[in-house]
Structure 1
Amino acid sequence: MPLTGIDLNQPLAPAAPAAPHSASGEAAATHDLAAVAPPARPARRWTPKRVVATPAAYDHAHGRRIMELVESQGIEVERLRSNRLTGLRGETDRETYARAKATMAIVVSPPSRRKLQPIAPSADWRFDLAEGCPAHCQYCYLAGSLSGPPVTRVYADLDDILAGLADYEGRGTITSRRDARRDEGTTFEASCYTDPLALEHLTGSWRRAVEHFGAWDAPVQLRWTTKFDDVDTFVGLPHHGRTRVRLSVNCKPVTTRVEGGTSRLEDRLAALRRLARDGYPVGVTIAPIIAVPDWRDHYTELLDGIADAVRDVPGLDLTAELITHRFTPGSKEVLLGWYPRTKLEMDEESRSRKHGKFGAVKYVYPAATMAELRTFFHTELATRLPSCRILYWT
């Protein structure tokens, strides 16, 4: 796809099945969380340098609400004459990346996005309220899942998207029909291609989704994961337990070397506690799990921090999703173009080569390493958080 002249009403073409979007933090959690959550720090909020809106976005009430919200924060919205986005090309690929990463486009979702797809092993169905993320994670799964410059697109047709979900109730195969997770009902994942809290102050989309599911009197559940902590607008909503928010976390050597632009780990754990105390089902997504030197010690510190964060929360409903680091030849090429000085290990010779469902090649840890990591996490989570349900390992 060329770097200019992008058709904003066409989806970013998937290059491979995407894992739920995930991230990590910067520091170990403090033990102050064991008693009460500390006062919330000022949220880290993204301010795009350029916001544009397609003509079609003006035809939707939520699109106009997004524009009003953006303009109320002193950000100008540029109305495009057509569905073509120009002005992204820089002197180098790196400059083009930077321009795209600083741009938010208000668009209408393409028809292909309205036909929901399964998202194993996370949930029954995936639906999107946005594509793209302003964070700078050097392991970013979107690099191998979406093609083209990383422009963040937010969808103006929110009301139509939410209304269309009812057709999928009871039709999934991950939680709708499996005894181990049947209590979750039909699950809808809303963070595969973005980080909701990175955009919520600009769109209000996920707050409206939480309210929609809260009013949906059926065995359903909204799911999303985040590496940000700006949860204050979600506390007190009538969610009725039908939204599970997962905080994406990792150990310190990973977070300090390969992630940028996200909330600190201790702030995310404080947000986890605030949501859990407000009655939300919550979770942790530990991803990508990386076998760094002394990984046992570093991940033990992380698990201790999680245990402190949720200690003494009444009625705690906590899950864990465990995702090891993997990469594809395509994602490696993109990531090295975005982050040429990355320290992230992507050595094919030290990995096992696997073929995905559709023949795509990916590189994962060798079987012995995977077994060692898996045994550690299952054992240590059971010791520190016996009530926590591990939903899957991959």
Structure 2
Amino acid sequence: MTTALAAPLTAAPLAPSPTRLWTPSRVLVTRSAAERPHGRRIIARLEAAGVSDIELLTGDRLPNLRGDGDRAAFMAAKQTLAVVVPPASRRKLQPIPPSADWRFDLAEGCPAHCQYCYLAGSLTGPPITRVWADLDEALADLDGYVGHGAITSGTAERGMEGTTFEASCYTDPLALEHLTGGLATAVTWFGTHDWPGPVQLRATTKFDDVAGLLDLPHNGRTRLRFSLNAASVDRRFEGATAKVPARIAALSAVAAAGYPVGLTIAPIMPVEGWREEYGQLLDDVAAALPAGADLTVECITHRFTPNSKATLTEWYPRTKLEMDEDLRTTKRGKFGAVKHVYPKDVMTELRGWFTGAIAERLPEARLLYWT
């Protein structure tokens, strides 16, 4: 059983030139990673991209990358790419609500410098980017998950999406694509594999290098979403990313190539003039989308944890990002984890405005969730 093939909405979409491509200063490749086909493909792409410092390790353990915990050590870690094979336990997929049935990692870590970075509270150790070299084997193991999810698969609200696999929980796969080719490999597999049921690969990005994705046989089974924000949030807090107008141009290109697309409006912040700024953002998206585009919207408000605040203020000591516990409501998770979110009245106002504005400006879009 397979999903219907999706034809491009327009012929030969033009890819915008990428405005931001990351080149790591240092690359570490473990022995097991270098032995994998995907690992060898990554090494070839790194060499073609002009990366000169590629160290092939004699074993599978990475060297100590913690440094002295100072700013220089942080920047060195952010400029380091490691190509590794994850432990087998990491390939046992976990649910990832509210986004998708299953979390399917291509990598962990991100080269961007978003001052609200969610990874700060999720990943431990130096903020290097680790790319998984066992992608071919991991893709071949996905059939057993089809039809067994609880977020989209078999649900009344989102069952038409099939079994969904989220590739951007702990990374931005498009930020790494020119170096790894991993996203294109996954898109092609999802588009051409004979699946036992309907499926969808999902990926979110703050980058715009989509040229290598436009001609792939995706067959409508990959939804590419673009993380967008108000102009002032982008300008102040989203360092080393493609800027929002470039992301919107990339969104337009992949939609024209027949991909289902999405907006991840995150993290929503009630900055001064937020209605005007977010309204302009929605208007810009509406103007850029080709007619008939399959569009979803996900709305995620800003929140932080004690751990993420401590890490982010260490990473970005001059940040002006509002992380004042006195201005927030404290929520506790199932196991007692603390999260600081906007108060109920602020959340109600934000949700009411966004729900109405999306319905008015993007009437064909499906709002998947608000959180």
What TM-score range do you get, normalising by the shorter chain? over 0.9
Q: Which residue in the other structure is 1:74 paired with?
A: 50
Q: Which residue in the other structure is 1:19 paired with?
A: none
1:157 to 134, 145, 170: 134
Aligned-pair distance for 1:92? 4.5
User: How many residues matched?
Assistant: 357
* Residue segments in structure 1 that go unaligned for 5+ positions in a row: 1-35
Q: Secondary structure at the match of 2:359?
A: helix
Relative distance call for 1:39 and 1:81 in structure 2 (3 A) is closer
Q: Deviations over 1:90-143 (max 9, x none)?
A: 455221111110000010022221100000000000011100000000000000
2:277 to 287, 294, 298: 298
The TM-score with structure 2 as length reference comes to 0.93
The reply to whether residue 185 of structure 1 matches residue 172 of structure 2 is no
56-65 vs 279-288, which moves further: 56-65
The reply to whether residue 126 of structure 1 matches residue 107 of structure 2 is no
The reply to whether residue 45 of structure 1 matches residue 21 of structure 2 is yes
Q: Secondary structure at the match of 1:178?
A: coil
Aligned-pair distance for 1:308? 1.1
1:259 to 238, 246, 251: 238
Aligned-pair distance for 1:89? 4.4
Paired residues of 1:38 and 1:270 also in contact (CA < 8 A): no
1:205-244 matches, within 5 Å, as: 205-217=182-194, 218-244=197-223
Q: Secondary structure at the match of 1:119?
A: coil
**Shift >2 Å, 4+ stretches:** 36-39, 81-93
2:90 to 109, 113, 136: 113
Paired residues of 2:33 and 2:84 also in contact (CA < 8 A): yes
Quote the Cα distance in structure 1 between the aligned partners of 2:342 and 2:257. 38
Q: Which residue in the other structure is 1:204 paired with?
A: 181
Aligned-pair distance for 1:315? 2.7
Quote the Cα distance in structure 1 between the aligned partners of 2:175 and 2:18. 14
Q: Which residue in the other structure is 2:78 paired with?
A: 101
1:139 to 116, 127, 150: 116
Quote the Cα distance in structure 1 between the aligned partners of 2:358 and 2:271. 19
Q: Which residue in the other structure is 1:373 paired with?
A: 350
Paired residues of 2:15 and 2:253 also in contact (CA < 8 A): no
Relative distance call for 1:37 and 1:158 in structure 2 (3 A) is closer
Aligned-pair distance for 1:268? 0.6
* Residue segments in structure 2 that go unaligned for 5+ positions in a row: 1-11
Paired residues of 1:279 and 1:315 also in contact (CA < 8 A): no
Q: Which residue in the other structure is 2:4 paired with?
A: none
Quote the Cα distance in structure 1 between the aligned partners of 2:91 and 2:14. 40
Q: Deviations over 1:173-202 (max 9, x none)?
A: 011121111110000000000001110000
Relative distance call for 1:256 and 1:265 in structure 2 (3 A) is same
Quote the Cα distance in structure 2 between the aligned partners of 1:189 and 1:255. 24
Q: Secondary structure at the match of 2:203?
A: strand
Q: Which residue in the other structure is 1:56 paired with?
A: 32
Quote the Cα distance in structure 2 between the aligned partners of 1:91 and 1:126. 33
Relative distance call for 1:296 and 1:37 in structure 2 (3 A) is farther
Q: Which residue in the other structure is 2:8 paired with?
A: none
Amino acid in the other structure paired with 2:39: G
Q: Deviations over 1:232-275 (max 9, x none)?
A: 00001110000000000000111111111010111110111111
Paired residues of 1:224 and 1:246 also in contact (CA < 8 A): yes
Q: Deviations over 1:19-53 (max 9, x none)?
A: xxxxxxxxxxxxxxxxx988723431100000010
The TM-score with structure 1 as length reference comes to 0.88
Q: Secondary structure at the match of 2:368?
A: strand
2:339 to 362, 373, 377: 362
Relative distance call for 1:161 and 1:44 in structure 2 (3 A) is same
Quote the Cα distance in structure 1 between the aligned partners of 2:333 and 2:88. 26
Q: Which residue in the other structure is 2:3 paired with?
A: none
Aligned-pair distance for 1:85? 2.6
The reply to whether residue 176 of structure 1 matches residue 153 of structure 2 is yes
208-217 vs 334-343, which moves further: 208-217
2:303 to 321, 326, 331: 326
Q: Deviations over 1:205-229 (max 9, x none)?
A: 0100000000134300000000001
Aligned-pair distance for 1:289? 0.2
1:346 to 306, 323, 332: 323
108-117 vs 47-56, which moves further: 108-117
Paired residues of 2:167 and 2:203 also in contact (CA < 8 A): yes
Question: Alignment identity in percent?
Answer: 60
Paired residues of 1:241 and 1:281 also in contact (CA < 8 A): yes
Amino acid in the other structure paired with 1:169: V
